[in-house]
Chain A
Amino acid sequence: MEDFVRDFVSETTESLGALDNDLLQLEANAGDLELVARIFRTVHTIKGTCGFLGLNRLRRVAHSAENVLDAIRKGRVTVSPETVTVILRSFDTLKEIVDTLGARGVEGDGDDTALIADLDAINDAAGASVVALPAPAAAVEAPPLSELEAALDSAWNATPVPAPAAPPAPPVAPAMASPVASAVPPAATSQPAASDTSAQSIRVSLDLLETLMTSVSELVLTRNQLLQLARNSKDGALVGPLQRLNQVVSELQEDVMKTRMQPIGNAWNKLPRIVRDLARDLNKKIELQMTGAETELDRQILELIRDPLTHMVRNSCDHGLETPAARLAAGKDETGIIKLHAFHEGGHIVMQLSDDGRGLDLPRIRAKAVERGLASEAEVAGMSDTQVGNFIFRAGFSTAATVTDVSGRGVGMDVVRTNVERIGGTIDLVTRPGNGSTFTIKIPLTLAIVSALIVDCAGQRYAVPQISVTELVNADSHGEHRIERIRDTSVLRLRDRLLPLVPLREVLGLAMPGSVEAPGDNRLVIVTQVGSYEFGIVVDRAHDTEEIVVKPVAQLLKNISVYSGNTILGDGSVCMIIDPNGVLARTGRVDTSAANGDLGHQMSGIDDRSEKLALLLVRAGRGMLKAIPLDLIARLEEIQTDVVFHSNGHMLIKYRDRLMPLIAADPEVSMEPGSRKQVLVISEGERSMGLVVDEIEDIVESAVVIELETGRPEVIGSSLVNGQPTEIVNTGHFLTLAAQDWFKPTSLKSGPRGKRVLMVDDSAFFRSLMLPVMRSCGLEVVPAASGEDALSQLEAGERVDLVITDIEMPGISGFELARRLKSEARWQNIPIIGLSGHADQDAIARGAEAGFVRHLPKLARDGIAEAVNEIMQMETQA
């Protein structure tokens, strides 16, 4: 018997066993639709699976039973004891057939016509349209499974596989063989069935494995204590046995851990065959590409994800991909491609299933959603494609015009979502009309083993999952990587930027915010990223890394978002696991609900977050406070004015073995010898300049709204920052002053020349900020203050080579602008870059859908310049 037949038998036996009780409950509780749905799904799954295994007897019974259950589900048939009796009878028959299949590898003989007639009678009485089975399957007596398998296998295995000690193949009977074929006594075809089922593997309950694992952990601890004792004792006789114990325990631990982990490929191995068979049934050409099959996940999760995945792949084959003729007509390759990709990401396992088919039928879904009262006409019209697509996850939502045997009863996607959410996962979809759909399933590793960095903070140890650690930086108060404290905020000088810091002590309430630490203290900075926001978590020091088993946090502490779980370390102590998402959320610095891409946010549609910006507030001269966006500043330095020398009316300083020009941020900044001044280093590529100020005041988060344009080139305008009138410094102006040739396109060897970029942003401030970046790329900037403005400028004949647009704008959003440009032939070839303050997964997906070539965080100067150069070069070559 082949593996998947055996799997089918054991799974089906299990699910049928669970159904008896459900059915009895149904009799008592006829109105329980959830219960009906569950029973229906199980039968649906059984029918689907036996369909491709060629188990026709099973399939016919399951199909008729399913019809009845469907009628109950839709309220056409009421649950009477008679109905339940007939359904129970059908389940008994299913069980009997499955048992026979398990024992003998064939469905066995039996006459189900009476049962099927009874089932159909219930359905007919309800006036339902019975879904007929495809004729050939019903007409033919089921051939013994082994023959069918042999026939399939010979077709399937075009390339030879390592022959599994090939049993002498029974003569292959053609499918239309005489009924005698099915009457062959089991003994004649039976291969060594007993050894087949009993060898290799057994089923062990997860509870047992869990207990085993707990015991092993305990054993490890005891061993560690013994080793410790032995090290301190002089008794040499202990050494040998202890070493052996040590080794054996380690191996045992490893093996027990392994019993829980399986490559995701184990859940995929049935798929190629399913896809192949479906392709044949549907007359389509389908290629299944799978990558990341080795990604390991907890077996429990694997089991739970197997069925949903199968449903999804079936859906993609059936609804997603077009017929070869339709594909050719649409200018695509005849063969449709389904890609399955798995990988680890940020403490999650992500599985992506994409097809290059026709995409979801959005107009139909819109209509259906309105018809079913899920949303009003107006609401549906205002929804994005992704939001509309999400309707398919609603129970009973199927738009397939015809109910087919493969899928399309409105079962499937709601089952998928239910199963994924049950294990704390999420499912998302992006659909591109005409170009296919991508489903992304994200499952947390709650049950999995992860590698974690164990760190010290205020005398306690905490675990930080390695997957969320970008980089570790040893920081001290005088070396290369210094921690600067500016009022209540700390920042780290890391290469060419200032990284905002979050001290773990403060987050955990173990130190007052802004409390001064002793100078000379060494600290460890864990650089991490949430969404597009990069920051550092400050801890005291690192211990080492450990493989930890993530255990869920006790119910009492569930709402403390800083912890994602807890674990027991090698020495037996309990250790909390830190979740960077939660850490950031506690600081209130970034709206993490957006970074997490939670459903509520997705469903709420256009987000109204105001764009906040980290600003460095400085004093220079006696005027207003001045503010400079923190992202534009590479470093902060303090200098003695004595080391500044003057040449040709310019101030210069030796800085990192180069000469760096200095410019006072205000003419009133006095450079008299013997004083100390603060210098903000601003870098552009290899070059740097220093902006001299009197004092650094603070770092604040604030929205910047230019309220007053001053007409002075060194100031973009003034704005209220935390209630204080503040001038926003135009760094571009100072950069130009510092090096006259800084922005001349000629200084670029290979950059684009004379290209024009349409810079769309509702904030004059951001437009001014981007100006020097664009100019340094050799681009001429055409500003637009809104999406509407951009469209009217293009309409008026403005020719540009590139569009860079903000996303969150009143009126036409960046997404909408991209969609409109892409829908017009004259503009659709202009590449579009989207900029946003918070480039989370969801936004990136939406951007890609709308037609962005790149989606970058705002103020990532280098990133933007790089992307622009790259795109312009591609354009030139094209």
Chain B
Amino acid sequence: MSASRQAQALQLVSVEVVGQSWGIPIAAVREVLGPQSLTPVPLAPPAVAGFLNLRGRIVTVLDLRATLGLGRTEEPERATEIVIEQDGELYSLMIDGVGDALTFPASAMEQPPQIMDARWRGLTDGIIKLDGKLLLVLGLDRMLAAVATAA
């Protein structure tokens, strides 16, 4: 599995959260949403902003800012969201904006440096150097695990 993945090119959608670019594996992305009405869920982990109804499917909305330890999105109902599917469930990540779909050779991904913030390192599968900036590849499994434990 990992061998075949290495051979493949990396296809990512870049999204912006508080000035930092993150890459989300394109295979997991379902769609991008504009402002949505949310149902808040009391008692849920802090990064769970609520639920939304996506054409009859219930989607768990995650505040990526909160997961990254950057406080909460101030107006959750006006945020841009990107819907991903992981293990058969739909999640929507609140972000500041969507960039391009990018393709890289698998070799472009490097280990995150040790000096990186431990919380971020825990969410990152690897980093890709672009001209002048870094793209952090978001590990969806890691992110969901982090959301669940940060109760």
Chain A residues at the B interface, C-beta cutoff of 8 Å:
213-215, 217-218, 460, 508-510, 551, 554-557, 560, 562-563, 566, 568, 572-576
Residue from A460, A555, A574 whose CB has the most chain B CB atoms within 10 Å: A574
Q: Does B44 contact A (CB under 8 A)?
A: yes
The reply to whether B148 and A573 form a contact with Cβ atoms under 8 Å apart is no
Q: 9 smallest A-B Cβ distances: which pairs?
A: A214-B56, A508-B42, A574-B51, A574-B39, A554-B60, A217-B56, A560-B43, A218-B56, A218-B55
B136 interface hit (Cβ, 8 Å): no
Given contacts A556-B48, A556-B147, A556-B148, contact A576 B41 (CB under 8 A): yes
Are B55 and A214 touching (Cβ within 8 A)? yes
Shortest Cβ distance from B44 into chain A, in angstroms?
Answer: 6
Contact B56 A556 (CB under 8 A): no
Residues of B contacting A: mostly: mixed
**Which of the residues B37, B48, B89, B147 comes within 8 Å of A573, measured between beta carbons?**
B37
Chain B, range 92-123, C-beta contacts under 8 Å to A:
none
In the bound complex, residues from chain A placing their C-beta under 8 Å from that of B40 are 460
Considering the complex, give the chain A residue whose CB is closest to the CB of B38. Answer: A574
**Residues of chain A within 8 A of B51, CB atoms compared:** 554, 566, 574, 576
Q: Quick one: which of B37, B50, B56, B147 has the most chain A CB within 10 A?
A: B56
| Complex contact B89–A576 (CB within 8 A) | no
A568 & B58 in contact (Cβ 8 Å cutoff): yes
10 further contact pairs, Cβ within 8 A, besides A551-B58, A555-B87, A576-B39: A214-B56, A214-B57, A508-B43, A556-B144, A557-B44, A562-B43, A566-B51, A573-B39, A574-B58, A576-B51
Query: A566 contacts which chain B residues (CB < 8 A)?
Result: 51, 58
With A218-B56, A573-B53, A574-B53: A554-B89 Cβ-Cβ less than 8 Å:
yes
CB neighbours (8 Å) of A551 from chain B are 58
Q: Name the residue among A215, A551, A555, A556 with the largest chain B CB count within 10 angstroms.
A: A556
Binding site for A on B (CB under 8 A): 37, 39-45, 48, 50-53, 55-58, 60, 87, 89, 144, 147-148
| Closest-CB distance, A216 to chain B (whole angstroms) | 8
Could you say which residues of chain B place their CB within 8 Å of the CB of A460? 39-40, 42
A560 to B151, CA, bound (A): 11
Asked whether, in the complex, the Cβ of A554 is within 8 Å of the Cβ of B42, the reply is no
Provide the bound-state CA to CA distance between A605 and B47, in Å: 41
16 cross-chain CB contacts under 8 A? A214-B55, A218-B56, A551-B58, A554-B58, A556-B44, A556-B60, A557-B41, A560-B44, A562-B43, A566-B51, A568-B58, A572-B53, A573-B37, A573-B53, A574-B51, A575-B39
A509 contacts B57, C-beta separation under 8 Å: no
CA distance in complex: A510, B40 (Å): 12
Among B45, B51, B89, chain A packs the most CB atoms within 10 A around the CB of: B51
> Complex Cα distance A217/B41, Å?
22
Least Cβ–Cβ distance between A546 and chain B, in angstroms: 15
CB B67 to nearest CB in A, in angstroms, measures 12
Contact B56 A215 (CB under 8 A): yes
Closest chain A residue to B47, Cβ basis: A556
A460–B45 Cα distance when bound, in Å, is 18
- Residues of A within 8 Å of B39, CB to CB, are 460, 573-576
Complex contacts, A573 vs chain B, CB 8 Å: 37, 39, 53
Measured in the bound complex, the distance between the Cα atoms of B37 and A563 in whole Å is 21
Complex Cα spacing A566 to B52, Å: 11
Chain B residue with minimal CB distance to A508?
A: B42
Closest Cβ of chain A to B16, distance in Å, is: 24
The minimal Cβ–Cβ distance linking A513 to chain B, given in whole angstroms, is: 14
Would you give the shortest CB distance from B93 to chain A, in whole angstroms? 13
A508 to B43, CA, bound (A): 6
* Contact in complex: A556, B45 (CB < 8 Å): yes
CB-based contact A509/B42 at 8 Å: yes
Contacts of A560 in B (CB 8 A): 43-44
Measured between beta carbons, the chain A residues less than 8 angstroms from B44 are 556-557, 560
Q: How far is the CB of B100 from chain A (nearest CB, A)?
A: 29
Query: How distant is the Cα of A144 from the Cα of B50 in the complex, in angstroms?
Result: 63
Give Cα distance in the complex from A243 to B105, angstroms.
Answer: 57
A231 to B39, CA, bound (A): 26
* Interface pair B43/A509, CB less than 8 Å apart: yes
User: What is the CA–CA distance of A740 and B45 in the complex, to the nearest angstrom?
Assistant: 61
Chain A residue with minimal CB distance to B151?
Answer: A559
Residues of A within 8 A of B56 (CB): 213-215, 217-218, 568
Give the docked Cα–Cα distance between A554 and B44 (Å): 11
